[in-house]
Amino acid sequence: MANVLGAHDLNFKETELCLGLPGGVGGNEVDSSQKTTGKRSFSETVYLKLNLQAKETGMDLNKNLENGSKEKPVSTKDPAKPLAKAQVVGWPPVRSYRKNVMAGNKNTGEENEKASSAVFVKVSMDGAPYLRKVDLKMYKSYQELSDALAKMFSSFTMGNYGSQGMIDFMNESKLMDLLNSSDYMPTYEDEDGDWMLVGDVPWQMFVDSCKRLRIMKGSEAIGLAPKAMEKCKSRG
């Protein structure tokens, strides 16, 4: 097959193409911060959000993969720590249609319940010019949702959700620290039409009542805090 551009035509110096290997940085890159290289090698998609945990536990999960280690990542059985392996987007390649149906199958025996199709909610982020949709049934915890949102809107990070995955609303100063620490805060519209801070109720309750997600600037989300605490108190 004749090649139009031909190997000879490609003077790599002229076109300044970077042929860096994954996991490493090409020779002519100055800024090697994760954002500008935009690398998305397998090791990074999986461990994007877990660098925090890795640092805490002193493990360097990325290094393991780059060394071509065939070991499976360590999955902690400690329920207080999330599993070391996050879900890779679109893998294994199971179609959403099938995922929705299978999710519904897990609820057999409840005859009169409404169809357990996926719970798709729109997600918007302040400043981002596009909307995404997520299926809340795909996740089992706030941490998983956080990881997925982080991948979709990778310029935002969510705060530390604590061991139960919920925000401690009873502690006002803790809450304020959280809001002041992150750039963005996920909020959601519940079945009453109120905008609440994500993480105020147990996960399943959240899935059942969430109608929409909006990732707000932390400074704006602070305005929701008093209402959130009030609702939390009234629930007892």
Partner 1 sequence: MQKKMMYSFPDDVLEHVFSFIQSDKDRNAVSAVCKLWYEIERWCRRKVFIGNCYAVSPRVVIKRFPEVRSIELKGKPHFADFNLVPDGWGGYVLPWIVEMAGAYPCLEEIRLKRMVVTDESLELIAKSFKNFKVLVLFSCEGFSTDGLAAIAAGCKNLRELDLRESEVDDLSGHWLTHFPETCTSLVSLNISCLGSDEVSFSALERLVGRCPNLKSLRLNRAVTLDKIANILRRAPQLVDFGTGNYASELPPDVLLNLAGAFSSCKELKSLSGFWDVVPAYLPALYSVCSRLTSLNLSYATIQNPEIIKLVSRCPSLQRLLVLDYIEDSGLEALASSCKDLQELRVFPSDPFGGEPHVSLTEQGLVTVSLGCPKLQSILYFCHRMTNAALVTIAQSCPNLTRFRLCIIEPKTADYLTLEPLDVGFGAIVEHCKDLRRLSLSGLLTDRVFEYIGTYAKKLEMLSVAFAGDSDLGLHHVLFGCESLRKLEIRDCPFGDKALLANAAKLETMRSLWMSSCTVSFGACKLLGQKMPRLNVEVIDETEPPDSRPESCPVEKFYIYRSVSGPRFDKPPFVWTMDEEGKIMH
Nearer to partner 1, 71 or 191 (CB): 71
What span, in angstroms and rounded, lies between the C-alpha atoms of 61 and 53? 10
Q: Which two tokens stand for residue 152?
A: 């979709």
| Rounded Cα–Cα distance for residues 150 and 199 (Å) | 16
Q: Pick one of 38, 58, 79, 236: the residue that binds partner 1 (CB under 8 A).
A: 38
Q: Which helix (H) or strand (E) holds 185?
A: strand 184-189
Return the residues of window 66-125 that contact partner 1 according to CB under 8 A: 70, 72, 75, 83, 85, 87-99, 101-102, 104-105, 108-109, 111, 114-115, 117
Per CB under 8 A, which region of 6-14, 54-62, 169-177, 217-225 contacts partner 1? 6-14
Cβ-based burial of 71 (10 A; exposed 0-12, middle 13-18, buried ≥19): exposed
Min separation Cβ 133 and partner 1, Å: 5
**145 closest CA partner among 191, 81, 87:** 87
Helix ranges restricted to H, 116-171: 142-152
Among 20, 124, 182, 209, binds partner 1 (CB under 8 A): 20
Cβ nearer to partner 1, comparing 73 with 199: 73
Identify the residue whose tokens are 């609303």: 169
Kindly write out the interface string for residues 129-168 of this chain, putting x where it contacts partner 1 by CB under 8 A and - elsewhere: xxxxx------------------xxxx-------------
34 binds partner 1, rule: CB under 8 A: no
Give the C-alpha distances (Å, rounded to integers) separating 118 from 96, 102, 105, 132: 9, 10, 12, 15
- The one-character DSSP state at 214 is E
By C-beta, is 56 or 91 nearer to partner 1?
91
Stretch that binds partner 1, among 5-13, 200-208, 212-220, 222-230 (CB under 8 A): 5-13
Q: CA 118, CA 26: separation in Å to the nearest integer?
A: 42
Contacts with partner 1 by CB under 8 A: the residue count is 65
Positions touching partner 1 (CB under 8 A) are: 1-7, 10, 15-22, 26, 28-29, 36-42, 45, 70, 72, 75, 83, 85, 87-99, 101-102, 104-105, 108-109, 111, 114-115, 117, 128-133, 152-155
